[in-house]
């Protein structure tokens, strides 16, 4: 895991994952999460192979959403698991200690459970309202991020409605990094959008 | 000829495919089917419940594996090799557009890997990539597959069986009455979904299939 505040770009089902990942890496993202719920296994595998290869060249990490089999087969750096996916404890047995396991949490209880289950990081949110998808609950807000950061020792990647204007505040509230989808995938110029986000993260590090 | 699984056991000739009607956390009707299975009659069961998420599939797989350990049943799961490994199932069944079987074999050498195929070409690719068995259909008319057009028929089953050295399971409208016709075309085994829905006739139907396949 990167040691200074970093950006994770999650692929958007509406955009080709390969071109999005390429732009994200060019802009300075440290982590790409391949997330595509409707793609076939064969498609996911070939995207995973290619994005992992490009991430290695940029010194970034490639994480596969949900599919541990695909992550192993394409030798990605790890997986990201939602609350409806395999538990992190089961995933750890398959992935060993060298691969990264991230777990989504939206409450302190879920974050603590993920830490007990052996996760390497927590994806916490959504912090702010987000246009990416309809959520079943209200945003948790930055104060809740601060409370969770005090409760667990794992790095937290904050997600949900994070922009260049609130990124430094989120880092100031205890996040180790931020994850975005639409802020990059739906930007007119995704490379610049990534550069601006990375820049505001570094600002947050200085402020913090 | 008897084909061998990666565990060095003979590959069963009967494949049951789950109904797709599992209720999350309760686990019927798959668990009922497993409980009803006669003890010394080998078969495979494929868990194919596309509406369940990975967590629910994992829980269902754990429950199924626990019931199955007393019987000669090999449990496979559709597509998700990771869940097969996590729940210590016997194998994975891959739809045609899945992660390539050789890539899964590399990470899971112990799993039985089956592949759905719809043509001699895809059979050839699956064999080259190390599949353990093939599933071909629908051979006969079956209500659930009518939306995809007419059935493939026994001639195409025969052509497919001749195109590969892998064991081929016929699926789609298979009954104990038409099994001999499929085996004459070179099929190794038979698969069924709706005919095995648990009910009063389950054990009798299962035994009829079994006796026909192993006579």
Binary contact (A45, B97; C-beta < 8 A): no
Task: Say whether pLDDT at B2 is over 70.
Answer: yes
Assign B187 a pLDDT band (cuts: 50, 70, 90). very high
Handedness of CA B54, B67, B137, B187 (dihedral sign): positive
Q: What is the pLDDT of residues B9-66, one digit of tens each?
A: 789 999 999 988 888 766 678 999 999 999 889 999 999 999 999 999 999 999 999 9
**Closest Cα partner for B31 from B202, B199, B198?**
B198
ipTM: 0.94
Scanning B55-74 for CB atoms below 8 A from A yields: 55-56, 58
Task: Give the Cβ contact number of residue A46 at 10 Å.
Answer: 16
Query: A73 and B97: CB-CB below 8 Å?
Result: no
Question: Is it the case that residue B215 has pLDDT exceeding 60?
Answer: yes
- Cβ distance A178 to A168 under 8 Å? no
CA B61 to chain centroid: 15
CB contact under 8 A, A73 and B82: no
Protein fold of B14-214: TIM Barrel (3.20.20)
Contacts of B99 (CB under 8 A, 6+ apart): A41, A42, A44, A45, A69, A70, A73, B81
Q: Cβ separation of A86 and B95 shorter than 8 Å? A: no
pLDDT value for A205: 60
Which pLDDT score is estimated for A63? 98
* pLDDT value at residue B148: 78
- Which tokens in the block code for residue A102? 């991230």
- Domain A6-207, CATH number (from 3.40.50.1370, 3.20.20.70, 3.40.50.1100, 3.40.50.1820): 3.20.20.70
State how far the Cα of A151 lies from the Cα of A109, in Å rounded to an integer: 10
Q: Which residue has the higher pLDDT, B69 or A197?
A: A197
Domain residue spans of chain A: 6-207
B61: closest chain A residue by CA: A86
Determine contact, residues B45/B75, Cβ cutoff 8 Å: yes
- Once rounded to an integer, what is the mean pLDDT over residues B184-211? 93
Q: What phi and psi values does residue A25 have, to the nearest 5 degrees?
A: -70, -40
The residue extents of the domains of chain B are 14-214
Task: For residue A20, give both structure tokens.
Answer: 């999005």
Residue A205 to residue B75: CA distance in whole angstroms: 51
Q: Which residues of B touch A66 (CB under 8 A)?
A: 54
d(CA A145, CA A141): 7
What is residue B144's predicted lDDT score, i.e. its pLDDT? 77
Residue A37 falls in the annotated catalytic set? no
Identify each DSSP E strand in A66-189 by its residue range: 78-81, 100-105, 121-125, 156-159, 177-180
Extract the tokens encoding A19.
């071109």
Q: In this predicted structure, what is the pLDDT of residue A207?
A: 54
Print pLDDT tens along chain A (208 aa).
888 999 999 999 999 999 999 999 999 999 999 999 999 999 999 999 999 999 999 999 999 999 999 999 999 999 999 999 999 999 999 999 999 999 999 999 999 999 999 999 999 999 999 876 566 788 999 999 999 999 999 999 999 999 999 999 999 999 999 999 999 999 999 999 999 999 999 876 655 4
> Which 3 state secondary structure label does DSSP give A64?
strand
Strands B133-136 and B168-170: parallel
């Amino acid at each position: 895991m990167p040691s200074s505040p970093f950006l994770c770009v999650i692929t958007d089902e509406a955009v080709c994952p390969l071109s999005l990942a390429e732009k994200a890496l060019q802009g300075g993202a440290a982590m790409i999460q391949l997330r595509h719920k409707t793609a076939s296994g064969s498609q996911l595998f070939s995207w995973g192979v290619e994005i992992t290869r490009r991430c290695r060249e940029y010194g970034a990490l490639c994480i596969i959403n949900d599919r541990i089999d695909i992550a192993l087969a394409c030798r990605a750096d790890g997986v990201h698991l939602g609350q409806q996916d395999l538990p992190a404890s089961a995933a750890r047995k398959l992935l060993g200690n060298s691969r990264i396991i991230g777990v989504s949490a939206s409450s302190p209880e879920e974050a603590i459970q993920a830490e007990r289950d052996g996760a390497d990081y927590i994806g916490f949110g959504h912090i702010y309202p987000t246009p990416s998808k309809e959520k079943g609950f209200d945003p948790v807000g930055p104060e809740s991020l601060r409370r969770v950061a005090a409760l667990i020792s794992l790095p937290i990647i904050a997600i949900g409605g994070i922009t260049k204007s609130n990124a430094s505040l989120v880092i100031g509230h205890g996040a180790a990094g931020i994850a975005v989808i639409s802020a990059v995938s739906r930007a007119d110029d995704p490379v610049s959008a990534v550069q601006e986000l990375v820049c505001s993260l570094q600002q947050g590090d200085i402020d913090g | 000829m008897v084909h061998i699984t990666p565990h060095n056991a003979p590959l069963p000739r009967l494949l049951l495919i789950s109904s797709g009607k599992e209720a999350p956390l309760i686990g019927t009707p798959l668990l009922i089917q497993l409980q009803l299975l006669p003890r010394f009659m080998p078969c495979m069961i494929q868990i194919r419940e596309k509406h369940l998420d990975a967590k629910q599939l994992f829980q269902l797989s754990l429950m199924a594996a626990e019931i199955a350990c007393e019987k000669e049943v090999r449990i496979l799961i559709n597509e998700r090799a990771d869940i097969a490994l996590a729940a210590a199932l016997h194998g994975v069944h891959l739809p045609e557009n899945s992660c390539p079987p050789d890539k899964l074999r590399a990470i899971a050498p112990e799993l039985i890997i089956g592949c759905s195929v719809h043509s001699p070409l895809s059979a050839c690719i699956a064999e080259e990539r190390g599949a353990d068995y093939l599933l071909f259909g629908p051979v006969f008319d079956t209500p659930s597959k009518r939306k995809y057009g007419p059935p493939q028929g026994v001639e195409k089953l025969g052509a497919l069986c001749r195109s590969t050295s892998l064991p081929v399971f016929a699926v789609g409208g298979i009954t104990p009455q038409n099994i001999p016709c499929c085996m004459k075309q070179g099929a190794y085994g038979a698969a069924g979904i709706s005919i095995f829905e648990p009910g009063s006739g389950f054990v009798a139907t299962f035994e009829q299939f079994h006796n026909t396949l192993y006579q």
